[in-house]
Amino acid sequence: MQKLESWPKFSDSSFDAGLNGPRAFPPTGGSRISESALRGLRQSCIDAVDESSASSALSMTASFDIAIGRVLYRAGEHSIGEFGDPYVWDFLTLILMPDLAARRLAMGSLSTARGHALQKRITGGDRRHVFQRIWKRWLIFGPEIVEAGKLTEDDFGVTIERLITNRPRLARAVANAIVGSGYSGSERRDYSRIFMRRLQQTSGLVQIPDHDEDYLRDVIDALHRQVVETLK
């Protein structure tokens, strides 16, 4: 495993080799993306991150994640099958945008990742992947919640790690409950963890019909009251 300090830069030769490799285009039924489109994706990510760091009132990590997540989400709106393939994330991280991956890994809690922990950050398909986890936030919660910047890194971790990805209404209802709970810091972490544990225990998660908004709201409100009572 390479140390972050010796992380490879983007190179045309590595890009060409990766693009011409046997797994460059997984058999998902989608259309092959062109070289120019991939280069355009890279430049869009670079521009978005640079612009956000110069103007955002959010933290450096939050502004980076929102900026690059927005680009990846829009790029993947019609390529869910491709973005579900782990090799695509290997390609994005190690070949197309290794410099941006290194930049994000050097920030915040990710800066301490070494050995196996670092491996998980760059392995496509892992829930801790440096880029894939950001894209998944947008896919699950949608632009409105993510761009609001009110969910913390811990909030995302608690909900995404415990919610199945094809239940966006449930995920958004939980996110709104966390944001509206009024808790912060360690109390918010306790609230989120207890809430998710109660949600799973109460419903088995998959039994909540999220097409019924009234029922979903009643479930979330009841769980909120239970958690608040527990934290007193």
Tens place of pLDDT for every residue, the chain, 232 residues?
Answer: 445 555 678 999 989 888 887 766 665 556 677 889 999 999 999 999 998 876 666 788 889 999 999 999 999 887 766 787 888 898 999 899 999 999 998 886 666 667 778 888 888 888 889 999 999 999 889 999 999 988 988 898 888 877 666 678 888 899 999 999 999 999 999 999 999 888 888 766 556 777 788 888 898 999 999 999 999 8
132 and 176 housed in the same domain: no
Check if the beta carbon of residue 137 is closer than 8 Å to that of residue 146: yes
Domain boundary among 89, 120, 141: 141
Amino acid sitting at position 179: V
Q: What are phi and psi of 22, to 5 degrees?
A: -65, -20
Burial 197-214 (b: 16+ CB within 10 A, else e): ebbeeeeeeeebebeeee
Check if the beta carbon of residue 162 is closer than 8 Å to that of residue 203: no
60 and 108 housed in the same domain: yes
Q: Using CA atoms, how far apart are residues 221 and 191, in angstroms rounded to an integer?
A: 13
105 and 204 housed in the same domain: no
- The predicted model scores a pTM of 0.82
Check if the beta carbon of residue 63 is closer than 8 Å to that of residue 56: yes
CB atoms within 10 A of CB 176: 16
50 and 71 housed in the same domain: yes
- Per the structure, the complete domain to which residue 199 belongs is given by 150-232
93 and 52 housed in the same domain: yes
Number of domains, the chain: 2
Residue appearing with tokens 């950050």: 121
171 Cβ neighbours under 8 A, 6+ residues apart: 140, 141, 159, 160, 163
